[in-house]
Protein backbone atom coordinates (compact mmCIF):
# COMPACT_ATOMS: atom_id res chain seq x y z
CA UNK A 1 0.00 0.00 0.00
CA UNK A 2 1.22 3.51 -0.83
CA UNK A 3 1.55 5.19 2.55
CA UNK A 4 2.82 8.59 1.31
CA UNK A 5 0.34 11.42 1.93
CA UNK A 6 0.67 14.85 0.33
CA UNK A 7 -0.23 17.64 2.77
CA UNK A 8 -1.92 20.74 1.38
CA UNK A 9 -2.05 23.58 3.92
CA UNK A 10 -4.64 26.33 3.40
CA UNK A 11 -4.00 28.41 6.53
CA UNK A 12 -3.11 31.49 4.49
CA UNK A 13 -6.17 31.26 2.24
CA UNK A 14 -9.04 29.36 3.84
CA UNK A 15 -7.73 30.17 7.31
CA UNK A 16 -7.71 33.89 6.50
CA UNK A 17 -11.49 33.65 6.03
CA UNK A 18 -11.97 32.96 9.76
CA UNK A 19 -13.47 35.64 11.97
CA UNK A 20 -10.72 37.72 13.60
CA UNK A 21 -7.89 36.46 11.38
CA UNK A 22 -5.97 38.97 9.27
CA UNK A 23 -2.47 38.24 8.01
CA UNK A 24 0.06 40.85 6.99
CA UNK A 25 2.45 39.96 4.18
CA UNK A 26 5.17 39.48 6.81
CA UNK A 27 2.88 37.12 8.73
CA UNK A 28 2.32 35.06 5.61
CA UNK A 29 6.02 34.76 4.85
CA UNK A 30 6.78 33.66 8.43
CA UNK A 31 4.09 30.97 8.26
CA UNK A 32 5.32 29.75 4.86
CA UNK A 33 8.85 29.35 6.24
CA UNK A 34 7.57 27.43 9.29
CA UNK A 35 5.43 25.08 7.18
CA UNK A 36 8.22 24.56 4.65
CA UNK A 37 10.68 23.61 7.39
CA UNK A 38 8.13 21.14 8.78
CA UNK A 39 7.95 19.43 5.38
CA UNK A 40 4.47 20.41 4.17
CA UNK A 41 3.98 19.54 0.48
CA UNK A 42 1.78 22.43 -0.68
CA UNK A 43 1.08 25.85 0.86
CA UNK A 44 -1.98 27.57 -0.57
CA UNK A 45 -1.16 31.24 -0.12
CA UNK A 46 -4.17 33.13 -1.47
CA UNK A 47 -5.95 34.45 -4.50
CA UNK A 48 -3.65 36.86 -6.38
CA UNK A 49 -6.63 38.41 -8.14
CA UNK A 50 -8.59 39.24 -4.99
CA UNK A 51 -6.55 41.91 -3.20
CA UNK A 52 -3.28 43.92 -3.32
CA UNK A 53 -1.90 42.14 -0.25
CA UNK A 54 -1.90 38.76 -1.99
CA UNK A 55 -0.35 40.32 -5.08
CA UNK A 56 2.48 41.69 -2.94
CA UNK A 57 2.91 38.33 -1.21
CA UNK A 58 3.33 36.39 -4.46
CA UNK A 59 5.87 38.94 -5.65
CA UNK A 60 7.93 38.75 -2.45
CA UNK A 61 7.74 34.98 -2.02
CA UNK A 62 9.65 34.57 -5.29
CA UNK A 63 12.81 35.62 -3.41
CA UNK A 64 12.27 33.12 -0.56
CA UNK A 65 14.12 29.83 -1.00
CA UNK A 66 11.93 26.90 0.04
CA UNK A 67 13.28 23.39 0.68
CA UNK A 68 10.14 21.27 0.72
CA UNK A 69 6.92 23.11 -0.11
CA UNK A 70 5.35 24.43 -3.28
CA UNK A 71 3.49 27.73 -2.96
CA UNK A 72 0.01 27.48 -4.51
CA UNK A 73 -2.13 30.23 -6.03
CA UNK A 74 -5.87 29.77 -5.66
CA UNK A 75 -8.70 30.84 -7.97
CA UNK A 76 -11.90 29.81 -9.72
CA UNK A 77 -12.61 28.42 -13.14
CA UNK A 78 -13.15 30.96 -15.87
CA UNK A 79 -16.38 32.86 -15.92
CA UNK A 80 -19.17 31.74 -18.22
CA UNK A 81 -19.18 32.86 -21.84
CA UNK A 82 -15.52 33.95 -21.91
CA UNK A 83 -12.33 32.17 -22.95
CA UNK A 84 -9.90 31.16 -20.23
CA UNK A 85 -7.05 33.18 -21.73
CA UNK A 86 -9.18 36.35 -21.46
CA UNK A 87 -10.50 35.76 -17.95
CA UNK A 88 -9.11 38.28 -15.44
CA UNK A 89 -8.92 35.72 -12.63
CA UNK A 90 -7.08 33.17 -14.77
CA UNK A 91 -4.63 35.84 -15.94
CA UNK A 92 -3.89 36.80 -12.32
CA UNK A 93 -3.22 33.15 -11.44
CA UNK A 94 -0.59 32.99 -14.17
CA UNK A 95 0.94 36.33 -13.24
CA UNK A 96 1.43 35.17 -9.63
CA UNK A 97 4.42 33.12 -10.72
CA UNK A 98 3.22 30.09 -8.73
CA UNK A 99 4.14 26.77 -10.31
CA UNK A 100 1.09 25.08 -8.78
CA UNK A 101 -2.45 26.41 -9.07
CA UNK A 102 -5.56 25.23 -7.23
CA UNK A 103 -8.70 25.80 -9.28
CA UNK A 104 -12.11 25.39 -7.72
CA UNK A 105 -15.21 24.57 -9.73
CA UNK A 106 -18.77 23.50 -9.07
CA UNK A 107 -19.64 19.80 -8.69
CA UNK A 108 -23.15 20.28 -7.31
CA UNK A 109 -25.75 20.79 -10.02
CA UNK A 110 -27.80 22.95 -7.64
CA UNK A 111 -24.92 25.42 -7.37
CA UNK A 112 -24.38 25.41 -11.11
CA UNK A 113 -27.99 26.26 -11.96
CA UNK A 114 -29.10 28.34 -8.97
CA UNK A 115 -25.96 30.04 -7.63
CA UNK A 116 -23.71 30.82 -10.60
CA UNK A 117 -26.69 30.75 -12.98
CA UNK A 118 -25.31 28.75 -15.86
CA UNK A 119 -26.02 25.45 -17.57
CA UNK A 120 -24.61 22.10 -16.56
CA UNK A 121 -22.89 21.86 -19.94
CA UNK A 122 -21.29 25.30 -19.67
CA UNK A 123 -19.95 24.47 -16.19
CA UNK A 124 -18.25 21.39 -17.62
CA UNK A 125 -16.66 23.55 -20.33
CA UNK A 126 -15.53 26.10 -17.72
CA UNK A 127 -13.70 23.34 -15.82
CA UNK A 128 -12.19 21.86 -18.96
CA UNK A 129 -11.06 25.13 -20.55
CA UNK A 130 -9.52 26.60 -17.39
CA UNK A 131 -7.49 23.54 -16.42
CA UNK A 132 -6.32 22.70 -19.95
CA UNK A 133 -5.25 26.31 -20.53
CA UNK A 134 -3.26 26.48 -17.27
CA UNK A 135 -1.65 23.10 -18.02
CA UNK A 136 -0.72 24.32 -21.51
CA UNK A 137 1.05 27.22 -19.78
CA UNK A 138 3.21 24.75 -17.84
CA UNK A 139 1.31 24.83 -14.54
CA UNK A 140 0.62 21.96 -12.16
CA UNK A 141 -3.12 22.09 -11.48
CA UNK A 142 -5.10 20.79 -8.51
CA UNK A 143 -8.86 20.81 -8.99
CA UNK A 144 -11.03 21.50 -5.94
CA UNK A 145 -14.41 19.91 -6.63
CA UNK A 146 -16.47 22.32 -4.55
CA UNK A 147 -19.53 20.90 -2.76
CA UNK A 148 -18.62 17.49 -4.20
CA UNK A 149 -20.24 15.34 -1.51
CA UNK A 150 -23.54 17.25 -1.54
CA UNK A 151 -23.47 17.11 -5.33
CA UNK A 152 -22.69 13.37 -5.36
CA UNK A 153 -25.62 12.61 -3.06
CA UNK A 154 -28.07 14.54 -5.25
CA UNK A 155 -26.69 13.85 -8.74
CA UNK A 156 -23.92 11.26 -8.69
CA UNK A 157 -23.53 11.13 -12.47
CA UNK A 158 -22.95 14.87 -12.82
CA UNK A 159 -20.62 15.14 -9.82
CA UNK A 160 -18.44 12.36 -11.23
CA UNK A 161 -18.49 13.99 -14.65
CA UNK A 162 -16.97 17.19 -13.25
CA UNK A 163 -13.98 15.38 -11.79
CA UNK A 164 -13.56 13.20 -14.87
CA UNK A 165 -13.45 16.40 -16.92
CA UNK A 166 -10.80 17.88 -14.61
CA UNK A 167 -8.72 14.71 -14.83
CA UNK A 168 -8.90 14.57 -18.61
CA UNK A 169 -7.98 18.27 -18.81
CA UNK A 170 -4.71 17.53 -17.00
CA UNK A 171 -5.28 18.09 -13.27
CA UNK A 172 -2.72 16.12 -11.20
CA UNK A 173 -5.04 15.89 -8.21
CA UNK A 174 -8.81 16.00 -7.78
CA UNK A 175 -9.75 17.23 -4.30
CA UNK A 176 -13.22 16.28 -3.04
CA UNK A 177 -14.63 19.10 -0.92
CA UNK A 178 -17.13 18.79 1.92
CA UNK A 179 -17.65 22.54 1.61
CA UNK A 180 -20.65 22.76 3.93
CA UNK A 181 -19.04 20.49 6.50
CA UNK A 182 -22.19 18.45 6.89
CA UNK A 183 -21.06 14.90 6.06
CA UNK A 184 -20.56 11.97 8.41
CA UNK A 185 -17.53 9.66 8.30
CA UNK A 186 -19.47 6.72 6.86
CA UNK A 187 -20.64 8.90 3.95
CA UNK A 188 -17.14 10.24 3.35
CA UNK A 189 -15.67 6.74 3.36
CA UNK A 190 -18.17 5.22 0.93
CA UNK A 191 -18.05 8.10 -1.54
CA UNK A 192 -14.25 8.45 -1.46
CA UNK A 193 -13.86 4.71 -1.94
CA UNK A 194 -16.07 4.80 -5.05
CA UNK A 195 -14.17 7.75 -6.50
CA UNK A 196 -10.74 6.25 -5.79
CA UNK A 197 -11.76 2.97 -7.43
CA UNK A 198 -13.25 4.73 -10.45
CA UNK A 199 -10.21 7.00 -10.99
CA UNK A 200 -7.14 4.96 -9.97
CA UNK A 201 -4.78 6.89 -12.26
CA UNK A 202 -5.12 10.31 -10.58
CA UNK A 203 -4.46 11.44 -7.00
CA UNK A 204 -7.64 12.03 -5.02
CA UNK A 205 -7.62 14.60 -2.22
CA UNK A 206 -9.99 15.57 0.60
CA UNK A 207 -10.99 19.00 1.93
CA UNK A 208 -13.29 19.00 4.98
CA UNK A 209 -14.94 21.75 6.99
CA UNK A 210 -15.80 21.32 10.64
CA UNK A 211 -19.45 22.34 10.87
CA UNK A 212 -20.39 18.99 12.45
CA UNK A 213 -17.13 18.71 14.43
CA UNK A 214 -16.05 15.83 12.17
CA UNK A 215 -13.46 17.42 9.86
CA UNK A 216 -10.49 15.53 11.31
CA UNK A 217 -12.37 12.23 11.49
CA UNK A 218 -13.70 12.67 7.95
CA UNK A 219 -10.19 13.35 6.63
CA UNK A 220 -8.67 10.35 8.39
CA UNK A 221 -11.41 8.00 7.14
CA UNK A 222 -10.99 9.40 3.61
CA UNK A 223 -7.34 8.36 3.69
CA UNK A 224 -8.42 4.87 4.70
CA UNK A 225 -10.69 4.88 1.61
CA UNK A 226 -7.74 5.65 -0.67
CA UNK A 227 -7.33 9.44 -0.64
CA UNK A 228 -3.67 10.52 -0.87
CA UNK A 229 -3.80 14.29 -0.46
CA UNK A 230 -5.16 15.94 2.68
CA UNK A 231 -6.20 19.59 2.85
CA UNK A 232 -6.89 21.78 5.86
CA UNK A 233 -5.57 24.64 7.94
CA UNK A 234 -2.79 23.84 10.35
CA UNK A 235 -4.58 24.52 13.64
CA UNK A 236 -8.13 24.36 12.27
CA UNK A 237 -9.35 27.94 12.06
CA UNK A 238 -11.29 28.92 8.95
CA UNK A 239 -14.69 29.85 7.55
CA UNK A 240 -17.63 29.37 9.98
CA UNK A 241 -16.66 26.51 12.33
CA UNK A 242 -13.25 26.08 10.75
CA UNK A 243 -11.39 23.54 8.66
CA UNK A 244 -9.82 20.18 9.34
CA UNK A 245 -6.84 20.75 11.68
CA UNK A 246 -3.77 19.41 9.90
CA UNK A 247 -1.70 19.19 13.08
CA UNK A 248 -4.16 16.61 14.47
CA UNK A 249 -4.54 14.78 11.15
CA UNK A 250 -0.79 14.47 10.63
CA UNK A 251 -0.32 13.24 14.19
CA UNK A 252 -3.09 10.65 13.83
CA UNK A 253 -1.95 9.37 10.44
CA UNK A 254 1.79 9.40 11.06
CA UNK A 255 2.10 8.60 14.76
CA UNK A 256 -0.73 6.07 14.93
CA UNK A 257 -1.38 4.71 11.43
CA UNK A 258 2.08 4.55 9.82
CA UNK A 259 1.37 6.97 6.99
CA UNK A 260 4.12 9.39 5.99
CA UNK A 261 2.82 12.97 5.84
CA UNK A 262 5.98 14.90 6.71
CA UNK A 263 9.60 13.76 7.18
CA UNK A 264 9.80 11.55 10.25
CA UNK A 265 12.55 13.78 11.66
CA UNK A 266 10.05 16.66 11.79
CA UNK A 267 7.16 15.00 13.64
CA UNK A 268 8.50 16.34 16.96
CA UNK A 269 8.06 19.88 15.60
CA UNK A 270 4.25 19.59 15.34
CA UNK A 271 3.53 21.24 18.69
CA UNK A 272 6.07 24.01 18.15
CA UNK A 273 4.76 24.86 14.67
CA UNK A 274 1.11 24.78 15.77
CA UNK A 275 1.80 27.22 18.60
CA UNK A 276 3.96 29.42 16.41
CA UNK A 277 1.26 29.74 13.74
CA UNK A 278 -1.36 30.48 16.41
CA UNK A 279 0.90 33.17 17.84
CA UNK A 280 1.51 34.78 14.43
CA UNK A 281 -2.22 34.71 13.70
CA UNK A 282 -3.02 36.13 17.16
CA UNK A 283 -5.27 33.11 17.60
CA UNK A 284 -5.97 31.51 20.97
CA UNK A 285 -5.04 27.87 20.45
CA UNK A 286 -7.29 25.70 22.61
CA UNK A 287 -5.38 24.39 25.60
CA UNK A 288 -7.25 21.12 25.06
CA UNK A 289 -6.33 20.87 21.37
CA UNK A 290 -5.45 17.20 20.70
CA UNK A 291 -1.72 16.48 20.49
CA UNK A 292 -0.52 20.11 20.56
CA UNK A 293 -2.55 21.84 23.30
CA UNK A 294 -0.99 22.69 26.64
CA UNK A 295 -3.44 20.33 28.35
CA UNK A 296 -3.35 17.55 25.75
CA UNK A 297 -1.26 15.45 28.17
CA UNK A 298 -2.25 17.13 31.45
CA UNK A 299 -3.36 14.97 34.36
CA UNK A 300 -5.24 16.18 37.43
CA UNK A 301 -6.95 13.24 39.13
CA UNK A 302 -4.81 11.46 41.72
CA UNK A 303 -5.47 8.01 40.23
CA UNK A 304 -4.57 9.25 36.76
CA UNK A 305 -1.34 10.83 37.97
CA UNK A 306 -0.39 7.72 39.91
CA UNK A 307 -1.13 5.52 36.88
CA UNK A 308 0.86 7.66 34.43
CA UNK A 309 3.77 7.83 36.86
CA UNK A 310 3.90 4.03 36.93
CA UNK A 311 3.09 3.35 33.26
CA UNK A 312 2.35 6.32 30.93
CA UNK A 313 0.22 4.25 28.55
CA UNK A 314 -2.28 3.67 31.36
CA UNK A 315 -3.76 7.13 30.68
CA UNK A 316 -1.96 8.38 27.53
CA UNK A 317 -2.67 7.14 24.01
CA UNK A 318 0.81 8.17 22.78
CA UNK A 319 4.04 9.50 24.25
CA UNK A 320 3.66 13.33 24.19
CA UNK A 321 7.30 13.73 23.14
CA UNK A 322 6.50 12.09 19.77
CA UNK A 323 4.74 15.31 18.71
CA UNK A 324 6.96 17.65 20.70
CA UNK A 325 4.56 18.15 23.61
CA UNK A 326 5.11 17.31 27.24
CA UNK A 327 3.30 15.66 30.11
CA UNK A 328 1.94 17.92 32.84
CA UNK A 329 0.63 17.05 36.29
CA UNK A 330 -1.94 19.63 37.41
CA UNK A 331 -1.88 20.72 40.99
CA UNK A 332 -5.17 20.70 42.91
CA UNK A 333 -6.86 19.24 45.94
CA UNK A 334 -7.68 16.11 43.95
CA UNK A 335 -4.22 15.60 42.50
CA UNK A 336 -2.95 13.33 45.27
CA UNK A 337 0.45 13.03 46.89
CA UNK A 338 2.36 12.10 43.75
CA UNK A 339 2.08 15.59 42.30
CA UNK A 340 2.78 17.31 45.61
CA UNK A 341 5.79 15.10 46.19
CA UNK A 342 7.25 15.78 42.76
CA UNK A 343 7.13 19.54 43.44
CA UNK A 344 8.54 19.14 46.94
CA UNK A 345 11.42 17.06 45.61
CA UNK A 346 12.46 19.92 43.32
CA UNK A 347 13.13 21.93 46.48
CA UNK A 348 13.99 19.11 48.93
CA UNK A 349 15.25 16.12 46.86
CA UNK A 350 15.33 13.70 49.82
CA UNK A 351 11.85 14.33 51.17
CA UNK A 352 9.66 11.29 51.83
CA UNK A 353 6.12 10.77 50.53
CA UNK A 354 4.54 10.66 54.00
CA UNK A 355 6.59 13.51 55.46
CA UNK A 356 5.05 16.27 57.62
CA UNK A 357 6.02 18.78 54.94
CA UNK A 358 3.86 17.00 52.35
CA UNK A 359 0.92 17.02 54.78
CA UNK A 360 1.42 20.74 55.39
CA UNK A 361 1.41 21.55 51.67
CA UNK A 362 -1.69 19.44 50.98
CA UNK A 363 -3.63 21.10 53.80
CA UNK A 364 -2.55 24.57 52.70
CA UNK A 365 -3.48 23.77 49.10
CA UNK A 366 -6.96 22.61 50.11
CA UNK A 367 -7.51 25.77 52.16
CA UNK A 368 -6.44 28.09 49.35
CA UNK A 369 -8.55 26.29 46.76
CA UNK A 370 -11.52 26.64 49.10
CA UNK A 371 -10.84 30.38 49.13
CA UNK A 372 -10.88 30.50 45.34
CA UNK A 373 -7.27 29.86 44.33
CA UNK A 374 -6.57 27.44 41.51
CA UNK A 375 -3.08 26.13 40.79
CA UNK A 376 -3.84 23.78 37.90
CA UNK A 377 -2.18 26.11 35.44
CA UNK A 378 -0.17 28.25 37.86
CA UNK A 379 3.09 26.35 38.12
CA UNK A 380 5.08 29.33 39.38
CA UNK A 381 2.46 30.20 41.96
CA UNK A 382 2.34 26.66 43.26
CA UNK A 383 6.12 26.45 43.68
CA UNK A 384 6.04 29.64 45.73
CA UNK A 385 3.19 28.19 47.80
CA UNK A 386 5.33 25.14 48.56
CA UNK A 387 8.35 27.25 49.50
CA UNK A 388 6.32 29.48 51.79
CA UNK A 389 4.61 26.54 53.48
CA UNK A 390 7.77 24.54 54.25
CA UNK A 391 9.88 27.57 55.24
CA UNK A 392 12.08 27.71 52.11
CA UNK A 393 11.10 31.25 51.18
CA UNK A 394 12.58 34.67 51.81
CA UNK A 395 10.96 37.78 50.30
CA UNK A 396 13.09 39.82 47.89
CA UNK A 397 11.53 43.14 48.81
CA UNK A 398 9.13 44.78 51.23
CA UNK A 399 6.21 46.88 50.03
CA UNK A 400 5.75 50.10 51.98
CA UNK A 401 2.77 51.29 49.95
CA UNK A 402 1.47 51.98 46.48
CA UNK A 403 -1.09 54.43 45.11
CA UNK A 404 -3.15 54.09 41.93
CA UNK A 405 -4.61 57.11 40.14
CA UNK A 406 -7.16 56.78 37.34
CA UNK A 407 -7.33 59.54 34.74
CA UNK A 408 -10.19 60.78 32.56
CA UNK A 409 -9.91 61.86 29.81
CA UNK A 410 -6.66 60.12 29.04
CA UNK A 411 -4.09 59.80 26.28
CA UNK A 412 -3.71 56.50 24.39
CA UNK A 413 -2.00 53.94 26.65
CA UNK A 414 -2.00 56.25 29.68
CA UNK A 415 -5.31 55.83 31.48
CA UNK A 416 -3.77 55.37 34.93
CA UNK A 417 -0.61 56.04 36.91
CA UNK A 418 0.96 54.26 39.87
CA UNK A 419 3.31 55.43 42.63
CA UNK A 420 5.13 52.72 44.57
CA UNK A 421 7.53 52.64 47.53
CA UNK A 422 9.56 49.51 48.31
CA UNK A 423 12.48 48.50 50.52
CA UNK A 424 15.26 46.11 49.47
CA UNK A 425 17.99 45.24 52.00
CA UNK A 426 17.26 48.40 53.95
CA UNK A 427 17.34 50.66 50.88
CA UNK A 428 14.22 52.55 49.83
CA UNK A 429 13.13 53.10 46.24
CA UNK A 430 10.19 55.27 45.14
CA UNK A 431 9.02 55.03 41.52
CA UNK A 432 6.08 56.13 39.41
CA UNK A 433 4.82 54.94 36.02
CA UNK A 434 1.91 55.46 33.64
CA UNK A 435 0.07 52.61 31.99
CA UNK A 436 -2.97 51.41 30.09
CA UNK A 437 -5.13 50.78 33.14
CA UNK A 438 -4.24 50.47 36.83
CA UNK A 439 -2.74 46.97 36.66
CA UNK A 440 -0.46 47.87 33.76
CA UNK A 441 0.67 51.05 35.55
CA UNK A 442 1.35 49.11 38.76
CA UNK A 443 3.24 46.41 36.85
CA UNK A 444 5.46 49.03 35.18
CA UNK A 445 6.12 50.91 38.43
CA UNK A 446 7.01 47.76 40.36
CA UNK A 447 9.41 46.48 37.69
CA UNK A 448 10.98 49.92 37.34
CA UNK A 449 11.63 50.10 41.08
CA UNK A 450 12.99 46.56 41.38
CA UNK A 451 15.25 46.72 38.31
CA UNK A 452 17.48 49.05 40.32
CA UNK A 453 18.31 46.06 42.55
CA UNK A 454 17.58 43.14 40.19
CA UNK A 455 18.58 44.06 36.58
CA UNK A 456 17.49 40.65 35.20
CA UNK A 457 13.84 41.73 35.64
CA UNK A 458 14.22 43.85 32.51
CA UNK A 459 13.99 40.56 30.58
CA UNK A 460 10.58 39.68 32.06
CA UNK A 461 7.40 40.50 30.17
CA UNK A 462 3.76 39.71 30.85
CA UNK A 463 2.36 37.46 28.09
CA UNK A 464 -1.20 36.86 29.31
CA UNK A 465 -3.59 38.25 31.91
CA UNK A 466 -6.88 36.57 32.83
CA UNK A 467 -9.57 37.55 35.31
CA UNK A 468 -12.28 35.19 36.52
CA UNK A 469 -15.21 36.30 38.66
CA UNK A 470 -15.67 33.57 41.28
CA UNK A 471 -19.06 34.56 42.68
CA UNK A 472 -21.26 36.99 40.79
CA UNK A 473 -23.85 37.24 43.56
CA UNK A 474 -22.17 40.30 45.08
CA UNK A 475 -21.90 42.08 41.71
CA UNK A 476 -18.92 44.45 41.54
CA UNK A 477 -17.80 43.36 45.03
CA UNK A 478 -17.36 39.75 43.85
CA UNK A 479 -14.19 37.83 44.57
CA UNK A 480 -11.97 37.49 41.50
CA UNK A 481 -9.09 35.21 40.53
CA UNK A 482 -6.28 36.69 38.43
CA UNK A 483 -3.89 34.55 36.41
CA UNK A 484 -0.73 36.15 35.04
CA UNK A 485 1.54 34.39 32.56
CA UNK A 486 5.09 35.75 32.33
CA UNK A 487 8.17 34.97 30.30
CA UNK A 488 11.83 35.98 30.05
CA UNK A 489 12.61 34.75 26.54
CA UNK A 490 13.65 31.33 27.84
CA UNK A 491 11.00 30.11 30.31
CA UNK A 492 7.29 30.74 30.84
CA UNK A 493 5.50 30.59 34.18
CA UNK A 494 2.07 31.41 35.60
CA UNK A 495 1.07 32.86 38.97
CA UNK A 496 -2.30 33.45 40.63
CA UNK A 497 -3.93 35.91 43.01
CA UNK A 498 -7.39 35.99 44.61
CA UNK A 499 -9.18 38.86 46.31
CA UNK A 500 -12.42 40.87 46.38
CA UNK A 501 -10.24 43.71 45.05
CA UNK A 502 -9.04 43.14 41.47
CA UNK A 503 -6.02 45.39 42.08
CA UNK A 504 -4.98 43.36 45.13
CA UNK A 505 -5.50 40.06 43.29
CA UNK A 506 -3.36 41.38 40.42
CA UNK A 507 -0.71 42.59 42.87
CA UNK A 508 -0.43 39.14 44.49
CA UNK A 509 0.03 37.49 41.09
CA UNK A 510 2.52 40.18 39.95
CA UNK A 511 4.68 39.84 43.04
CA UNK A 512 4.72 36.04 42.80
CA UNK A 513 5.69 36.30 39.12
CA UNK A 514 8.68 38.50 39.91
CA UNK A 515 9.79 36.48 42.92
CA UNK A 516 9.56 33.24 40.94
CA UNK A 517 11.90 34.74 38.33
CA UNK A 518 14.39 35.85 41.00
CA UNK A 519 14.37 32.43 42.68
CA UNK A 520 15.07 30.76 39.34
CA UNK A 521 17.96 33.19 38.71
CA UNK A 522 19.53 32.17 42.01
CA UNK A 523 19.06 28.46 41.27
CA UNK A 524 20.57 28.81 37.78
CA UNK A 525 23.61 30.65 39.15
CA UNK A 526 24.07 27.90 41.76
CA UNK A 527 23.85 25.19 39.10
CA UNK A 528 26.36 27.03 36.93
CA UNK A 529 28.72 27.31 39.93
CA UNK A 530 28.50 23.55 40.53
Total residues belonging to the chain: 530
Reported CATH class of domain 6-280: alpha beta
Distance CA 444, CA 488 (A): 15
At 268 the pLDDT is 95
Quote the CA–CA distance of 446 and 402 in Å, as a whole number.
9
**Within a 10 A sphere around the Cβ of 99, how many other Cβ atoms?**
12
Mean pLDDT of the chain, nearest integer: 90
135 or 304: which carries more pLDDT confidence?
Answer: 135
pLDDT band at 2; cut points 50, 70, 90? confident
19 φ/ψ angles, rounded to the nearest 5 degrees: -60, 130
Q: What is the pLDDT of residue 523?
A: 82
More confident residue, 245 or 1: 245
Is it the case that residue 322 has pLDDT exceeding 90? yes
For residue 99, give the 3-state DSSP assignment: coil
* 341: phi then psi, degrees, rounded to nearest 5: -65, -40
Choosing among 3.40.390, 3.30.43, 3.40.50, 3.30.160, the CATH entry for 397-453 is 3.30.160
Other CB atoms closer than 10 Å to residue 446's CB: what's the count?
24
Q: What is the mean pLDDT of residues 102-119?
A: 97
pLDDT at 125: 97
Domain boundaries, the chain: 6-280, 298-389, 397-453
Rounded to an integer, the average pLDDT of 369-379 is 73
End-to-end CA distance of the chain: 55
pLDDT in tens, 188-200: 999 999 999 999 9
pLDDT at 413: 66
For the four alpha carbons of 390, 395, 400 and 406, in that order, the dihedral sign comes to: negative
Q: For residue 3, what pLDDT is reported?
A: 94
> Given this chain, do its domains 6-280 and 397-453 carry the same CATH topology?
no
Strand ranges, E, within 167-299: 173-178, 203-208, 229-232, 298-299
For the segment 362-388, the average pLDDT, to the nearest whole number, is: 79
Assess whether pLDDT exceeds 90 at residue 16. yes
CB 451 within 8 A of CB 461: no
Task: Report residue 517's pLDDT band, with 50, 70 and 90 as the boundaries.
Answer: very high
Q: How far apart are CA 273 and CA 62, in angstroms?
A: 23
Helix 270-280 crosses helix 25-38 at what angle (to 10 degrees)? Answer: 170
Position 151 pLDDT exceeds 90 = yes
461 has a pLDDT exceeding 70: yes
DSSP character string of 284-353: ---TT-TTTSTTTTEE-SHHHHHHHHH-GGGT-SS-GGGGT---EEPPSTTS-HHHHHHHHHHH-TT--T
> Across the strands, what pairs with 465?
484
Determine the Cα–Cα distance for residues 61 and 363; give it in Å rounded to an integer. Answer: 59
List alpha helices for 390-529, DSSP H: 438-450, 502-529
What does the DSSP 8-state code read for residue 331?
P
Q: Is the peptide bond before 409 cis (omega within 30 degrees of 0)?
A: yes
Cα 28 to Cα 15, 60, 94: the distances in Å are 11, 10, 20
DSSP helix/strand/coil, 240: coil
pLDDT at 300: 76
Amino acid sequence: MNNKIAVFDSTLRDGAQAVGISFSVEDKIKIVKALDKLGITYIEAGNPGSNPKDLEFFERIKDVKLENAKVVAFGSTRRRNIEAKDDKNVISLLSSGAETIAVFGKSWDFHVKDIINTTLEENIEMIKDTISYLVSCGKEVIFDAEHFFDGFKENEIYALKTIETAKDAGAVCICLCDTNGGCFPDEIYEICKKVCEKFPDVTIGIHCHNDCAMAVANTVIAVKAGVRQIQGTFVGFGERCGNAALCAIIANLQAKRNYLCIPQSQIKSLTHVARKIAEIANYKLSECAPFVGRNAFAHKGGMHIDGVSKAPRSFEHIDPEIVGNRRKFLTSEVAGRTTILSMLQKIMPNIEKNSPEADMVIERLKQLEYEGYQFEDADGGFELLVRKTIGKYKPFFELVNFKIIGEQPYAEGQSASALIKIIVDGKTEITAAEGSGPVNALDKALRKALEVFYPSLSQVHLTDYKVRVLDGKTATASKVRVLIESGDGVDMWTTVGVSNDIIEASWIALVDSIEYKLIKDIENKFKAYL
